[in-house]
Amino acid sequence: MSTVSVRIDKDLIDAARSSASAEFRTVQGQLEFWAKVGRAALDNPELPASFIAESMMSLAESRDDSLPFVPRSKKST
């Protein structure tokens, strides 16, 4: 993977550092995540950004930890 240096506002870096710590990411990883969410939000304006972010996080989760889907109620016939 290649890298590129960019200039980013210090306030944004500080916000990324705070969020990265809470979400167990590096600062670089947090900025990349925000960029991906932003790009997906622009490509899908009908979806809330929070839904996009949660969907991306769920895709990154290990399938080993997943539980089978269990309906909350059963339809009566």
pLDDT tens-place string over residues 3-35:
889 999 999 999 999 999 998 999 999 999 999
Please give the pLDDT value at position 23. Answer: 87
State the Cα–Cα distance between residues 40 and 3, nearest whole angstrom. 22
Pairwise pLDDT comparison (63 vs 39), residue with the higher score: 39
pLDDT tens-place string over residues 34-49:
999 999 999 999 999 9
Region of 15 (left: φ > 0; alpha: ψ -120 to 50; beta: rest) is alpha
DSSP per-residue string spanning 15-62: HHHHHHHHTT--HHHHHHHHHHHHHHHHH-TTS-HHHHHHHHHHHHS-
